[in-house]
Amino acid sequence: MIGLIVVTLLGAAAAAPTDDRIVGGYRCPAHSKPWQVSLNVGYHFCGGSLINEQWIVSAAHCWQNPMAQIAVLGDNHIWQNEGTEQYMSVDAIYWHQSYDYKTLDYDIMLMKLAHPVTVNQYVKPVALPKACPTPGDMCTVSGWGNIYTDQVFNPFYLQCVEVPILSNKDCDGSYPGMITDRMVCAGYLEGGKDSCQGDSGGPVVCDGELQGVVSWGFGCAEKNHPGVYAKTCIFTDWLQSTMASY
């Protein structure tokens, strides 16, 4: 008998604002992730990372009509205006030309803001990677997605979780035939700590560099099913050339 396997896209469905969040993590110290972005269409649906004054990196599967959304930067409590936020309209979106919505290969996109942000202690870009990560490197994933594996509860405050980069062998073993060179796994094979729905597009930061974009996984924090992320280091040339072109 063939069992049903559900691939969990870690972004929110457009019609369902009951998204998931970081599982097994903790509340991030306020404004400790100044590159964190909330993509909002009347509610938070995906995350993103500010990489310079006018550009955000997110997951291609988070695409929404740019005219219908805003990017919120400098946020901590997602439902309170704390005076640190910058609300930016999105001018244009460029997803990778090789993005495959069936396999989630090349799951990365760039968003150009209509105006540059004001860089300060609350809003600050994260560095792009100079090299690819090494298995065992510890990284921080952040987002406002679900905090439970078996029910939906969205946090008010930004959540963080520390997870290690996994080897290609462990990643392939967890998802046979599904992992490409553009993907990297991070987490624990025993489960318990992971990103979840609503975290999609958000940052995986290792040693101050953006090494991943929250993409997909089977469930959230399940045993032998670590989180799968777009491998940012593979895309640095594409990111730089796209920003230079537009």
Give me the active site residues, please.
61, 107, 200
DSSP of 51-116: EETTEEEE-GGG---GGG-EEEES-SBTTS--S--EEEEEEEEEE-TT-BTTTTBT--EEEEESS-
Instruction: Tell me if 21 sits within 8 A of 11, measured CB to CB.
Output: no
Burial pattern 50-75, b for ≥16 Cβ within 10 A else e, equals bbeebbbbbbbbbbbebeebbbbbbb
DSSP code, position 118: -
Kindly tell me the number of DSSP H helices and DSSP E strands found in the chain: 2, 14
Smallest CA-to-CA distance from 139 within 186, 200, 77 is with: 186
CA dist 150 and 135 (Å) reads 29
Tell me how far apart the alpha carbons of residues 26 and 24 are, in angstroms, rounded to a whole number: 7
H-helix or E-strand spanning residue 216:
strand 209-218
Q: Please, what sign has the CA dihedral across residues 204, 210, 211, 214?
A: positive
Q: Check: CB of residue 198 under 8 Å from CB of residue 45.
A: yes
